Amino acid sequence: MPSDVMIETRALTKKFGKLVALDSLDVKVQKGVIHGFVGPNGAGKSTTIKLLVGAIRRTSGEGLIKGYPIGSVDARRVIGYSPERPSFYKDWTAFDYLVHMAALSGIKPDEAERRSQELLNWLELSDFANVKVGGFSAGMKQRLSIAQAMSHRPELLVLDEPTANLDPDGRMSLLEKLKGLPREQGVTVFISSHILSELEFLIDSVTFINKGRTVAEDSVKVMKEEIALNRYVLNTSNNQAVMKALQGHASIQEIKLGNDGILHISSPDMGRLQSAVMEAVTKTGSLLKYFGEEQVKLEDIYRSTMDQGKDR
Ligand SMILES: Nc1ncnc2c1ncn2[C@@H]1O[C@H](COP(=O)(O)OP(=O)(O)OP(=O)(O)O)[C@@H](O)[C@H]1O
Ligand SMILES: [Mg+2]
């Protein structure tokens, strides 16, 4: 049955012999978002992705794509997939390869040619349309693989570390293209990576995975708000003196001077904290440079969630 949820796994488990690669994994991804799938090497990202796209079979548990069981024809039709290490027939040109793959997915020849050209343009490969894929760089192959994944206009694009082989310019350019997919083409994107800085501006929601288990999952905004709650940063011309003046104040739970040279404060009462800060700045004759809520990065969420999941 079709569903508003694009991806859902329940207690999805995959064993390779004795090795438990996925240990009762729960993932839920809404339609129309860009969802990051983040975890260290060996966490189980590629294994999950291979299960979702139906490339390998699960040991137990279940998974649904738009309500269809993973591995079913209906589920596969929804997905475009670019693997971690794409492989190609090296004697084919990029254009012939795309047309061939589009034809295999049931697209008529005329449309297959038109669509392939469009995708080569989109991924800035049109100058190499008639070049044999064997001569492509790793980054070009990666982009060609994404073109192929998009050829049948999938509703869900699944990308396993798509930027791993790209140079910084290529990486930025690809991320910008991906960013527009939900809004411009109604595509949901599921993207695995361990480069948090690049996911920072791309994703709406995220699953953190470690040792085959979901450690945390939510919208990035909600996660950031949870971490930022009651946390403030303060920078003055004399942070040591201001810290001393503020220490022990009733509105402050914790105050410390960070490695970044500025003060980090936990306080449940922003109003009283603000008065205390003004008083301390005046009293110490310091100059106030900045006072505001802590700006949380994806990296901070990662550290905080992985610390929580450490003992599991
Ligand atoms: N075909 C296989 N046979 C045996 N073990 C496997 C197989 N595929 C994966 N594994 C093991 O399963 C675990 C999860 O691997 P997986 O490739 O899913 O991790 P990953 O999160 O994608 O890591 P990376 O960031 O390095 O790509 C690892 O311990 C890996 O060695
Ligand atoms: Mg992997």
- pLDDT tens digits for 241-297? 999 999 989 999 999 999 999 999 999 999 999 999 999 999 999 999 999 998 888
Ligand 1 atom, smallest distance to 212 CA = 14
Closest CA to 30 of 192, 180, 217: 217
pLDDT at residue 2 above 60? no
Residue type, 140: M
Q: What is the DSSP string of the chain?
A: ---SEEEEEEEEEEEETTEEEEEEEEEEEETT-EEEEE--TTSSHHHHHHHHTTSS--SEEEEEETTEETTSHHHHHHEEEE-SS----TTSBHHHHHHHHHHHTT--HHHHHHHHHHHHHHTT-GGGTTSBGGG--HHHHHHHHHHHHHTT--SEEEEESTTTT--HHHHHHHHHHHHTHHHHH--EEEEEES-HHHHTTT-SEEEEEETTEEEEEEEHHHHHHHHHTTEEEEEETTHHHHHHHHTT-TT-SEEEE-TTSSEEEE-S-HHHHHHHHHHHHHHTT--EEEEEE----HHHHHHHHHHHTTT-
- pLDDT at position 54 is 96
Q: pLDDT tens for residues 91-129?
A: 999 999 999 999 988 899 999 999 999 999 999 999 999
CA of 256 to the centre of ligand 1 (A): 40
Residue type, 142: Q
CA–CA distance, 57 with 13 (Å, rounded to integer): 10
pLDDT at residue 307 above 80? no
Closest CA to 65 of 150, 152, 158: 158
**Nearest residue by C-alpha to atom 2 in ligand 1:** 16
In DSSP terms, which residues pair with 193 in a beta bridge?
A: 38
**Nearest residue by C-alpha to atom 26 in ligand 1:** 41
Q: pLDDT tens for residues 178-197?
A: 999 999 999 999 999 988 88
Q: Are strands 188-193 and 19-30 parallel, antiparallel or unpaired?
A: unpaired
In DSSP terms, which residues pair with 79 in a beta bridge?
A: 156
**Top mutation candidate among 13, 18, 19 for ligand 1, by most atoms within 8 Å of CB:** 19
Residue 233 phi/psi, 5-degree rounding, is -120, 145
**Quick one: average pLDDT of 136-150?**
94
pLDDT band at 1 (very low <50, low <70, confident <90, very high): low
pLDDT at residue 221 above 70? yes
**Nearest residue by C-alpha to atom 6 in ligand 1:** 16
Kindly identify the ligand whose nearest atom is closest to the C-alpha of 59: 1
Greater confidence (168 vs 309) lies with: 168
- pLDDT at position 308 is 65
pLDDT at residue 223 above 90? no
- pLDDT at position 312 is 46
- pLDDT at position 136 is 92
**Nearest residue by C-alpha to atom 10 in ligand 1:** 21
Average per-residue pLDDT in the chain? 93
Q: pLDDT tens for residues 24-71?
A: 999 999 999 999 999 999 999 999 999 999 999 999 999 999 999 999
Kindly identify the ligand whose nearest atom is closest to the C-alpha of 83: 2
Ligand 1 atom, smallest distance to 39 CA = 21
**Top mutation candidate among 16, 41, 213 for ligand 1, by most atoms within 8 Å of CB:** 16
Q: Which residues have any ligand 1 atom within 6 Å of their CB?
A: 16, 19, 21, 39, 41-47, 84, 194
Closest CA to 290 of 265, 270, 262: 262
pLDDT band at 309 (very low <50, low <70, confident <90, very high): low
**Do residues 305 and 196 touch, judged by C-beta distance below 8 A?**
no
**Do residues 213 and 43 touch, judged by C-beta distance below 8 A?**
no
pLDDT at residue 311 above 80? no
Domains of the chain as residue ranges with CATH: 5-219 (3.40.50.300), 229-299 (3.30.70.100)
